[in-house]
């Protein structure tokens, strides 16, 4: 895997991939449409942010590349790529409980508050990537 050079793309399976942590300057792409939703991505080495219909879906520090991102009412799944460990904020359902699984390890249940944000610390290890699943309980 590598950074997403088009900043955001729709995969053949309907998932999206986005982000380029190799960029020195903040770069953005707006009005990317997938199944009636408008996405905007801002990305560079310090952060990556994805919005869906002007609402936060994903934000990371430092910047990341995200592959096979699937987001729905049940939760979210994706593979994150980064040269170092990262912190990810997901915009999910307000005041809900989610089971978090990183690289097949169940890390337990987490709750969102009124803003629906869930904050994850992700260790990418030597591979530089991690598979993340966040499932609504």
What's the pTM? 0.94
- Predicted confidence at residue 72, as pLDDT, reads 86
Contact 76, 92 (CB under 8 A): yes
Q: With a cut of 80, say whether residue 2 has pLDDT above it.
A: no
Over range 107-112, report the average pLDDT: 96
Q: How many CB atoms lie within 10 A of CB 33?
A: 9
- Predicted confidence at residue 4, as pLDDT, reads 78
Please name the residues in contact with 50: beta carbons below 8 A apart, sequence gap of 6 or more.
Answer: 8, 18, 19, 39, 40, 41, 56, 57, 58, 59, 66, 69
pLDDT tens digits, residue range 89-105?
999 999 999 999 999 99
pLDDT tens digits, residue range 11-70?
998 899 999 999 999 999 999 999 999 999 999 999 999 999 999 999 999 999 999 999
**Structural domains in the chain?**
8-136 (2.60.220)
Band (pLDDT 50/70/90 cuts) for residue 5 is confident
- Predicted confidence at residue 43, as pLDDT, reads 96
């Amino acid at each position: 895997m590598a950074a997403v050079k088009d900043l955001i793309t729709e995969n053949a399976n309907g998932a999206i991939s986005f982000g380029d942590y190799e960029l020195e300057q903040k770069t953005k792409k707006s009005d990317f449409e997938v199944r009636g939703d408008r996405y905007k991505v801002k990305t560079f080495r310090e952060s990556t942010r994805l919005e869906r219909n002007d609402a936060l879906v994903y934000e990371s520090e430092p910047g990341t590349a995200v592959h096979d991102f699937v987001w729905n009412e049940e939760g979210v799944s994706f593979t994150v790529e980064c040269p170092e460990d990262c912190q990810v904020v997901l915009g999910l359902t307000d005041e809900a409980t989610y089971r978090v699984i990183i690289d097949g390890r169940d890390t337990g249940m987490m709750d969102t508050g009124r803003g629906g944000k869930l904050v994850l610390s992700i260790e990418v290890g030597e591979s530089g990537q991690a598979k993340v699943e966040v499932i609504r309980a």
